[in-house]
Amino acid sequence: MPSAHGICRRPPHSRQIPRVGTHSPGAPTSGAGASRMTTSPLSSYILAPLPSWQGALPASGQFSALLNAISDATIVIDRASGQLAFANRGFFEMTGFSPLEDDIPNAATLLPELEAGWSSGEERETRFLLPGKKTLAMWVSVTWLDKPGQWLLIQLVPLEVHRWRAAQMRREDQWLDALEHLAELTNQPDLDSALYTALEIGKNLLGAQTLGMYRADIQLLRLARVLTLGTDGDKLPAFLALEKPAATYTPSLWLSGQHAVTELQQAARTNDLASIVSAPIEINGNRLGLLVAADLPPTNARQLIETLSILAAHIAATLQHYLAINTLNRSVKDSQRALAIQDAIAENTRDGIFLLHPSLRVLDMNPAAELIFGYTSAEVIGVPVDNVIIGLDNLPAGLRMALEGVASPDLGNARLHRRSGQVFPAHLQLLPVKVGRELINIVVLVRDMSEHEEIRARTQQLEQRALLGEITAIFAHEVRNPVNNISTGLQLMEMQLPADDPGRDLVERLQTDCGRLTHLMESVLAFAKPMEYKIVPTNLKQTLAVLLERWRPRMARANVELIFKVEENIPPVLADARALEQVFTNLVSNAINAMRQEGGALAVRVEKADETAGPPQLRVSVSDTGPGIPAELREKIFQPFFTTSAQGTGLGLAITQRIILAHKGSIQVESFPGGTIFKVFLPAFSERKN
Report pLDDT digits (tens) over 229-266. 998 889 999 999 988 888 889 999 999 999 999 999 99
Report d(CA 349, CA 420) in Å as an integer. Answer: 23
398 and 315 in a common domain: no
Q: Which residues of the chain register pLDDT less than 50?
A: 1-27, 29-58
Domain holding 679: CATH number?
A: 3.30.565.10
The boundaries of the domain holding residue 138 are 34-166
Residue 106's φ and ψ, nearest 5 degrees, are -80, 180
| Whether the Cβ atoms of residue 17 and residue 86 lie closer than 8 Å to each other | no
Report d(CA 282, CA 292) in Å as an integer. Answer: 14
Report d(CA 578, CA 655) in Å as an integer. Answer: 13
| Whether the Cβ atoms of residue 296 and residue 304 lie closer than 8 Å to each other | yes
Question: Across 231-322, where does the E strand assignment appear?
Answer: 239-241, 252-255, 275-283, 286-294
Predicted confidence at residue 31, as pLDDT, reads: 45
Residue 157: which of 99, 68, 94, 77 has the closest Cα? 94
In tens, the pLDDT along 22-58 reads 344 444 544 444 333 332 232 343 444 444 444 344 4
Domain membership flag for residue 1:
no
394 and 257 in a common domain: no
Nearby residues of 671 by Cβ (< 8 Å), 6 or more positions away: 628, 629, 634, 677
Q: Quote the number of domains for the chain.
A: 5
Question: β-pairing, 423-435 with 438-448?
Answer: antiparallel
459 and 444 in a common domain: no
Q: Is the dihedral of CA 297, 300, 303, 304 positive or negative?
A: positive
Cβ neighbours, 10 Å, residue 641: 14
Residue 388: which of 358, 361, 428 has the closest Cα? 361
Report d(CA 505, CA 497) in Å as an integer. Answer: 11
42 and 122 in a common domain: yes
Report d(CA 567, CA 620) in Å as an integer. Answer: 11
311 and 240 in a common domain: yes
DSSP 351: S
Domain membership flag for residue 334:
no
669 and 557 in a common domain: yes
Domain membership flag for residue 172:
no
Predicted confidence at residue 43, as pLDDT, reads: 33
Report d(CA 424, CA 372) in Å as an integer. Answer: 9
**Long-range contacts of 77-80, Cβ-Cβ distance < 8 Å, separation of 24 or more:** 77/107, 77/151, 77/152, 77/154, 78/48, 78/49, 78/51, 78/150, 78/151, 79/116, 79/149, 79/150, 79/151, 79/152, 80/150
Report d(CA 119, CA 14) in Å as an integer. Answer: 37
Question: Could you give the strand order of the β-sheet that contains 413-417, starting from the edge strand earlier in sequence?
Answer: 362-365, 352-356, 438-448, 423-435, 413-417
Nearby residues of 557 by Cβ (< 8 Å), 6 or more positions away: none
Which CA distances in Å does 247 have to 145, 213, 220, 294?
Answer: 62, 17, 18, 18
Report d(CA 53, CA 63) in Å as an integer. Answer: 12
Identify residue 610 by its one-letter amino acid code: D
Rg of the chain over all Cα atoms, to the nearest angstrom: 56
Domain membership flag for residue 438:
yes
544 and 671 in a common domain: yes
Predicted confidence at residue 80, as pLDDT, reads: 80
Predicted confidence at residue 611, as pLDDT, reads: 62
Domain membership flag for residue 396:
yes
**Element (DSSP H or E) covering residue 86:** strand 83-87
Domain membership flag for residue 371:
yes
Predicted confidence at residue 112, as pLDDT, reads: 86
Domain holding 242: CATH number?
A: 3.30.450.40
In tens, the pLDDT along 2-14 reads 332 223 333 333 3
Domain membership flag for residue 192:
yes
191 and 292 in a common domain: yes
Report d(CA 357, CA 403) in Å as an integer. Answer: 10
Please calculate the CA angle 465-471-474 and round it to the nearest 5 degrees.
140
CB burial readout 389-419, b (16+ within 10 A) else e: bbebeebeebbebbbeeeebeebeebebbbe
Report d(CA 399, CA 442) in Å as an integer. Answer: 8
| Whether the Cβ atoms of residue 663 and residue 683 lie closer than 8 Å to each other | yes
141 and 117 in a common domain: yes
Report d(CA 63, CA 197) in Å as an integer. Answer: 51
Predicted confidence at residue 53, as pLDDT, reads: 41
| Whether the Cβ atoms of residue 652 and residue 590 lie closer than 8 Å to each other | yes
498 and 609 in a common domain: no
Of the three residues 472, 505, 528, the one that is the final residue of a domain is: 528
Of the three residues 263, 293, 326, the one that is the final residue of a domain is: 326
577 and 489 in a common domain: no
Exposure on the CB side of residue 377, measured as CA atoms within 13 A: 12
556 and 602 in a common domain: yes
Predicted confidence at residue 8, as pLDDT, reads: 32
Q: Is the dihedral of CA 127, 129, 134, 138 positive or negative?
A: negative
Domain holding 153: CATH number?
A: 3.30.450.20
Domain membership flag for residue 282:
yes
Of the three residues 528, 560, 594, the one that is the final residue of a domain is: 528
